[in-house]
Structure 1
Amino acid sequence: MTPEQCVARVDELAATGADAGVWALVAIAGLALAAVGGALVWRRPRRLPLTLAGALVLVAAVAAQLPAGAAHAAGSVSYSDGCTLISVEDVAVSPATTLAPGDETTSIAATVRSVADGPITISLDGSAGSALAGIATAVTAIDGETGVVELAAGATVTVTLTLALPAETGDAAQGLTAVPELTITATQR
């Protein structure tokens, strides 16, 4: 009897551009507020405090839309049909990036939870995407170790994909973008 196997692929969630509409609304609101505020101050100078309060509201709305520093992108997880051995959680994906020679970055980190009834083995495979295939190195680790790991029912491990571009990389890699992908294979014991 062939042991049950489950494959999960983790990569960056594609950008949708959904936030562009929010920025357009903020810009329109800002122009409207500036026009109304200017007219009020010009006609009635004592309305200046009301105009300043409106400007503060606009600044707060814009600040709420700014990205939170070095935040990670959302990750996309897809499972093979009938996958009942693992659950991939807490996925953090560094946005697709251009690596410079000598750079190394953890591109994907996630928690893998065994949801199987018995022990399973976990193995990983990773890549930097087709643009950097054969140029960048992709190193996978399970709780900081390479290789296959046995996982008890209900246990969790942290999996990572680290991408590196060798310092001696030539001009062939200039301008290429890494699109990290991590494949997690679980096999029932």
Structure 2
Amino acid sequence: MPSSELDDFAALFDRHAPYIHRYLARRLGDQQADDLVAETFLTAFRRRATFRPEQRDARPWLYGIATHLVAQHRRDEVRRLRLHQAVPPEPDTTCHADQVAAHVTATALRDTLTSALADLTDGDRDVFLLIVQEELTYEQVAAALDIPIGTVRSRLHRARTTLRAALGGRNPLTSTDEGVRHG
């Protein structure tokens, strides 16, 4: 294997590993993310011949590999979401009034949202998290998951509709009815 190929792959790792790690950590936790980042790049290296250079950006391809690895851990992910329901996060001790308001809002919504996220279909949850957490475009999600862009749009719509319904059709951040405007 030529040294330049290894150097190119090392540069790819350096550029994209933090993004892939963040995505995996959000999905599976830090400890699992460390292992799966390594597995993601090992898989990418083994499958480097399948990368299409016309894509120019390897990140969606890497997100696709990472998402497929997450699929192998679906049961753990749902269990983690259910556990998150039962164990409240540690409070931040900045401003007491803001802390209380944030805690009350988070407590009221956490169970509902984590349950709704856990109940989404695997495909809908993948699309939703790649767009909302990772801020990928519809095109990048389509490339990452190897699905048509129309499927991305319909899965995102279903996920938003389900989550909105779980919140009673209201946006808790604005306390207004958002049920119609964000579809």
Q: Tell me the TM-score normalised to structure 2 length.
A: 0.23
Larger Rg: 1
Between Structure 1 and Structure 2, which shows a larger proportion of strand residues? 1
Between Structure 1 and Structure 2, which shows a larger proportion of helix residues? 2
